[in-house]
Homo-oligomer: A and B are copies of this chain.
Amino acid sequence: MTTVPPLADADSRPDTAGIDLRGVVKQYGTQAALRGLDLQIRDGEFFCLLGPSGCGKTTTLNLIGGFVAPTEGEIWIQGKRVDQLPPHKRPVNTVFQSYALFPHMSVLENVRFGLKMDRVPRDVSSERAAQALGLVGLEEFGSRMPAQLSGGQQQRVAVARALVKRPAVLLLDEPLGALDLKLRQRLQIELAQIHRDVGTTFVYVTHDQEEAMSMADRIAVMNGGRIEQLGTPEEIYRGPVSRFVADFIGDSNFFEATVEGAVAQLPDGSRVACAGGRSGAATLMVRPEAIVLHGGDGSIAGHVVQTSFLGSYIRIAVETPAAGAPVIVALRDGAAVPALGEGVMLSWTAADGVVLEPGPAA
């Protein structure tokens, strides 16, 4: 369900810019890790592959990096077919999840390693390595050993080591996964800044939707070896194409419904507004912050089973015969908070009721 249309002529040379994956299949034994992937990543964009573990996002990254050979399909980078090239001959570099810093080399030697392999003269390589360390704010750490650095510093060394070779594409494999929340948020801002500074294409793999949304120009949401949706963070949040995407990106409430025009009928008989689109059996998805309590026309009735003050908002769980699980409502701080057990009415505007294919709960 990629939004990139397949090219009319399969044998035509792809666009010379960016990355082009064409009909890529990867089988491990009888297990398919990727089931036919068509994906074009533009030159210079910050692109995220987002999905749960096992969705094929890391396999995709490994295919681009050259660590894994595709079973079928072609991979082009900047107009050059690369799928038969070993990793050391591809114009890409990788920041690994574990950072993979060489523990027996100093930070400077780590960063210089790639240039040494390219037989760059020692003085040039020293200067470029120092520059790269400067880019990540670690000028002073060249003589340290990796084990003497904090997790965040190791991550930055890994970025410097990959960028020092000036690759056409930088691959990042969950590079912030091992760090704690506050540090992660700071490094997200830093990585986005580095991306703007160097202008290289970034392909970033993560299972953390907030991380993807906070940095990416475009996101490909993957599931079961396929791309389920591709678009900007806002496009995906506002218009998820499936229950899986809606559930994976942001919080959501789901209702089984029968839709006719812009009206959805819920299991308890209540009729609520929806964006329309398909008719008949459907799943209705509403974001917690889109629900209004004490709604007017087209409301559903329920009673409050939990109210939690969460700082920036108040979370209300409402049990209602209209839905299987409690409906989660996010109230802005300052709104009137109903008491535990109180009966409430819920409603939302038509645009906020997204209609999806009917499907079972995840």
Contacts and interface: CB of A to CB of B under 8 A. Distances in A.
A237 B251 CA distance: 22
Q: Which 9 A-B pairs have the closest CB atoms?
A: A214-B308, A250-B311, A237-B311, A289-B312, A234-B309, A233-B309, A189-B317, A189-B306, A213-B310
A193 B326 CA distance: 12
A334 to B, nearest CB: 10
17 contacts: A185-B328, A188-B306, A189-B326, A213-B309, A214-B308, A214-B315, A215-B308, A233-B309, A233-B311, A234-B309, A237-B309, A237-B311, A287-B312, A288-B312, A289-B312, A312-B313, A332-B332
Nearest to A233: B309
A10 interface: no
Interface of A: 182, 185-186, 188-189, 192-193, 210, 213-215, 232-234, 237, 247, 249-251, 287-289, 305-306, 308-313, 315, 317, 325-326, 328, 330, 332-333, 362
Nearest to A328: B185
Contacts of A287: 311-312
A309 B333 CA distance: 20
Nearest to A237: B311
Nearest to A310: B213
B310 A193 contact: no
A312 B314 CA distance: 13
A208 to B, nearest CB: 10
A214 B288 contact: no
A362 to B, nearest CB: 7
Given A189-B305, A233-B309, 13 more contacts: A182-B247, A182-B362, A189-B306, A193-B305, A213-B310, A213-B311, A214-B306, A237-B309, A249-B311, A251-B312, A287-B311, A287-B312, A312-B330
Contacts of A214: 306, 308, 310, 315
Listed residue (A182, A189, A214, A311) with the most chain B CB atoms within 10 angstroms of its CB: A311
A250 B314 CA distance: 13
Nearest to A238: B311
A362 B288 CA distance: 33
Nearest to A312: B289
B182 A306 contact: no
A193 B317 CA distance: 11
A312 B237 CA distance: 9
Contacts of A186: 325
